[in-house]
Every structure is written in C-alpha cells, then in structure tokens.
Amino acid sequence: MKLLKSLLNQRTRSRTVTFALVIAAYIGVTVFKASGNMTRMVSSLLVPVCCYIVAAIGLNLNVGFSGELNLGQAGFMSVGGFTAAIVNGLTLSMIPNDIIRLILCIIAGAIMAGFVGWLISIPVLKLEGDYLAIVTLAFGQIIMSLLNNLYVGVDKAGVHFAFMTNTLSLQEGGKMIVSGPMGVTGNTMISSFTAGFVLILVSLFIVFNLMYSKEGRAIQACRDNKIAAETVGIRVSSTKTLAFVLSSALGGAAGALYMMNYSSVAATKFDFNTSILILVYVVLGGLGNMTGTVIATTVLVMLPEMLRFLSSYRMLVYAIVLIVMMIITNNEKVLSATESFRRKMKKKGA
Amino acid sequence: MENREKVLEVRGLGIDFGGLTAVNDLDLDIYQGEIYGLIGPNGAGKTTVFNMLTKVYQPSRGTIRLCGQDMAKLNPVTANIAGVARTFQNIRLFNKLTVLDNVKTGMHNSISYGKLAAVLRLPSYYKAEKEADEKAMELLTILGLDQYADTEAGNLPYGAQRRLEIARALATNPKLLLLDEPAAGMNPQETEELMAMIRKVRDYFKISVLLIEHDMKLVMGICERITVLNFGQLLAQGLPAEIQSNKEVIKAYIGE
C-alpha cells in the first residue's frame, strides 16, 4: 500500500509543479501589470506567449508522447485561427458578450483543426519517421497557400466564400472577413491574457489527465514498440490518431486565441518557420516534459524581444542561448546530476 | 491427456514467403495447463510459428483454433483479446514507461473507463486505476519484480526485462502464453529459477504455455510434450524421453 501511495505521489508531482508554476506566473504578471511598470512591449507579448505555449503543449503530445515528428503545427494554428475569425464575424451581431464569443471561437477553432487533423492523419499515420515529417511539412505549406487565396465575406444574405479571385459582391453593409493574401482583416480583438491563462490550464488539464490514463500509456507504448503494443491488444492506428487529432485541436485552439488578439493576420504568419519555432520550444523544453515546454516557450518567445537593445547581435545571443539550452538538457553529466539531486530530495521527503 | 480441454488446435499450418516455404503442414495440439516445447535448429521456423499464432503473419494454409474458436479472421490485436499472449526473442518492452506502467498497458482492454472519464477524472477512472495498480503489483510480486515497479523498463537488468515481458503478457489475461526463448542469455542458476517460475505462473493463472528454447535442460525439465521442427517441417512430436532418443532429431541437431 505504501509503495502504491508513493507511486501515485510521483505521478502527480510533475503535474502539481506545472500547474503551480503557471498559476504563480499568472498572478505575478497580473500584479506586475497592475503596478504599471510593465512596458508595452512585454504586455503585447503576453497573449502570443500563451498561444505558443498551448501550441507547444499540443505538439509535445504528438512529438514527445506519440513519437511522431510533426512539422506542420503552424498549419493547424492557421486552421484554428481562420475558423475563429469567420465564426467571430458571423456571430458578432448575435452575441454581444466578448467572453462568450471568444470561447465559441476557440472551441470552433479547436474542433475544425481537430477535424482537419483527423483527415490528415488518415494518410499521414500510414507513414513513419522522416516520411511522416515531410508530409506534415507539406501539409503546413498547402494550408498556407489555400488560406492565402481564400476570400470570405458576410452580409445580410449570409456568409460567402470565394477562391483565387475576389468574386464576392457583398450587399450594402457587408463586411470582408478574409481577403486573400491580406488574410483576416477587420477582426475584433477580444483575446486577453486571462483567456490565454485559462486556455493553458485547460490544455494542461486535458493532456496530463489523458497521459496518466490507459490511453496515455497506450500512446507511449505505440511510440516505444508498435509490434509489442499490438500483441498486448492495443490498436496502434486509432491510438496514434487520438494523439494526432488532440495535438492538432490544441494547435487550433492556440491559433484561435492568437487570431483574436489582432485586428488583421495574414496566412503567411503561420508558415514553416512558425512550425519549426514551436518544435524548437518542444525539443528544448524536453520531449514529453510539459513543465519544460511551458518554461522553454516563455523564455524563447520573450528573449528575442528582450534582446532588442543588442540590435544586430540579437540573433547571435539568441542562437547561443539555444545551443546552451540544448547542451544542458541533453548532457549526460548534467542529467545524471539533476537525477541524483532529485533522488536525494526524494529521500529527504520520505 | 485427452480428458483435458484442448486450448490450441493447429492443423496443416503453413506459410510461404514468395517462393520460400518457411513452415509447412504443422499439426499441434496443446491442452489446458500443459507446458509444451517447440524446438529445432536455427532457422527451423519456430518464431514464424509464433508469428502465425499471434497473427503477426497471416498463414498461407491450415487452420488455428483457440478453445474451439477459428482464428482465421483475427489480427494481432483481436488474437490477443481472444487469449494469445507472447514474449519476444529480442526483448520488446516499452522502454520509457515504468515497470508498473508496462504491466498496466497489458490491461488496456480490461480497464473499462472511457477517454472522457479519464480527462474529467470521474470516479470510474480512480476505481479502475486502483484495481489495475493492485493487479499489476500482484503480477510484479509473483515475478519478483515488485522492487522495480517505479523504474523505467529500459533501465532494468537483462533477466528482469525478460520476466517483465512475461508479466506484461500475463496482464492481458491469456489462455495460451507463448514464450520465445525465455532463457536466452541467462546463467544456469537464473534458468533454474525461470523454470520454477514458469511452472508457478502456469498453476497460478491456469494457463497453457508454449515455449521455444535452445536450452535443452530447461526444455526437457519442464515440457510435458515437445514438437521438433526442421527446415519448416515437423520432424518429431512426443514426450521428452522419446524426443531425446529419436535418431532423426539427433541427426538434425548434431549431423551424421
């Protein structure tokens, strides 16, 4: 019984630490903001940081737990973002309450991205390793090109879609929501730091609870050994699909939150570089390590802006930080040192 | 023997890979509670038989019946649910999961809560997880792995990894347990312990065991009956004493 108890404790510990960290950061930032000492630059980064954290949590589910390298997370963000903008445009007059509309937008973005993720997963999960990565990369590019040529407008007669050329002839009082290469225009900015904070908590809650359940074990089992997973009765393809769909849905929710923070966003914002950036946050935070992902994302989104005073040396310092983080998180000596430290702490605790 | 229930009935089993016939015309009967040995020189097709019984390979010919149920339409997942569990010659554990979680993956289909119950942490989740924890700890205790419950499976010593594979297979509630060279890489004392453990597991879980092994001391020591394969063909079948004195078998192993 005692052994069982200690196991349960260990299982919930990393969860408690992560939640405590996020909540403490939220309180700290809110107090700091209220004191009036926060620069505009930092406060304008708060929502994007939350978005990238959620997208990275989703990607870590796929890359860290499911073991599938996905280079198209930004594609799912854009699906979620554009869906959110359209839903917002449609419901603007019906639902005056910003918070309810924001929730609706995020849920719609997550569902749409999850659905697209499910469609993509049918061909993609038949592939492995490099091939899978290449297809997800291509998916990201395709989504970007498609959205770059999409025109959506709304008027009294309802919502209108056009592709390639703007053939929408909206009635009097009609409004463009998506205008091709310009992307989403005239969006209402209803995202807030609090909304981002809540979204992070919800994502962490979903991912942690799922990972410490039979589905989570199955997802990790399929990553470690597909053949063995099958012979203990785990359906590999449906298990991998679950991870992929949930990962893309979280990407979509992040994209929705991001979109609703700006009045206009072009599809090219969610390009290959964004996908790679999110992957960098995940890898440097540690595969399968949610606490690490949250910290790494926060640091690496903030850092380039914080270093602006270094002007052209900025990216140089950024690169050095990346390399140092890589060494620290992957160096055997450092890892074994932290491991023995953890064990010592455990002994003291027991 | 015949008054016991037949767990496995194999008739005319064969498989071709292109033009190569890897296994041909194999008959095999395993009864309830029996420990059965499958032996033969390297490349005889023993592991291929295991792969057909677990439906990793689809047989080209013949029938497999598990407790009377035809296995023709099953795949590896449904074959496991039907009651066949196995270990692997080259150990295949979930290395990044803890020992306890490895065993609990074996209970995937007997843990009943849904995804929503897991995410929302409904009472059904806690109840099922607690039961699974207790059952997994019981299995680990039987196989002498309880002190490792918290360790990552990839960090276990070799012998313990082999036992963990058995524990994970047993967690799926099998009727028939297939062990692919369970004593490979073990010293004589470890092999001795393994033999006692296989018997204990058979009695405790009331299952039948089919094992591939090169260690003749183990095979002759615990198997009630033995089948010898050579170049995919059935060479001999019978009691250990009969096999040991069979001239064909000696010829296949040692040469003329």
**Average pLDDT across chain B, whole number:** 92
Chosen from B95, B99, B108 to mutate, greatest number of chain A CBs within 10 A: B108
In 3D space, the residue among A295, A302, A291, A293 whose CA is nearest the CA of residue A19 turns out to be A291
Rounded to whole angstroms, the Cα distance separating A18 from A243 reads 21
Domain ranges of chain B: 6-90+174-254, 94-155
Gap between the terminal Cα atoms of chain A: 15
Chain B residue with the nearest C-alpha to that of A66: B96
What's the pLDDT tens digit per position in A294-337? 999 999 898 888 887 887 887 788 888 888 877 777 777 777 77
Domain ranges of chain A: 2-349
Give the minimum alpha-carbon distance from A177 to chain B in angstroms, rounded to a whole number.
35
The CATH number of B6-90+174-254, from 3.90.1150.10, 3.20.20.70, 3.50.50.60, 3.40.50.300, is 3.40.50.300
Whether A1 has its CB under 8 Å from any CB of chain B: the answer is no
Q: Note the CATH number of domain A2-349.
A: 1.10.3470
- Total residue length of chain B: 256
Q: Taking CB atoms and an 8 Å limit, are B172 and A229 in contact across chains?
A: no
* Helix (H), strand (E) at residue A217: helix A214-224
- When CB atoms are compared, the residue of A225, A232, A288 closest to B108 is A232
Q: What is the pTM of this model?
A: 0.89
What's the pLDDT tens digit per position in B167-206? 999 999 999 999 999 998 888 998 999 999 999 999 999 9
* Integer angstrom CA distances of residue A76 from A11, A141, B218: 30, 11, 56
Which of helix, strand or coil describes residue A45?
helix
Whether B41 has its CB under 8 Å from any CB of chain A: the answer is no
- When CB atoms are compared, the residue of B94, B111, B132 closest to A224 is B94
| pLDDT (average), residues A189-216 | 93
What's the pLDDT tens digit per position in B193-251? 999 999 999 999 999 999 999 888 899 999 999 999 999 899 999 999 999 888 888 88
The full DSSP string for A280-338 is: HHHHHH-TT-HHHHHHHHHHHHHHHHHGGGGGGGHHHHHHHHHHHHHHHHH-HHHHHHH
Whether B47 has its CB under 8 Å from any CB of chain A: the answer is no
Rounded to whole angstroms, the Cα distance separating B219 from B201 reads 16
Whether the predicted pLDDT of A4 surpasses 70: no
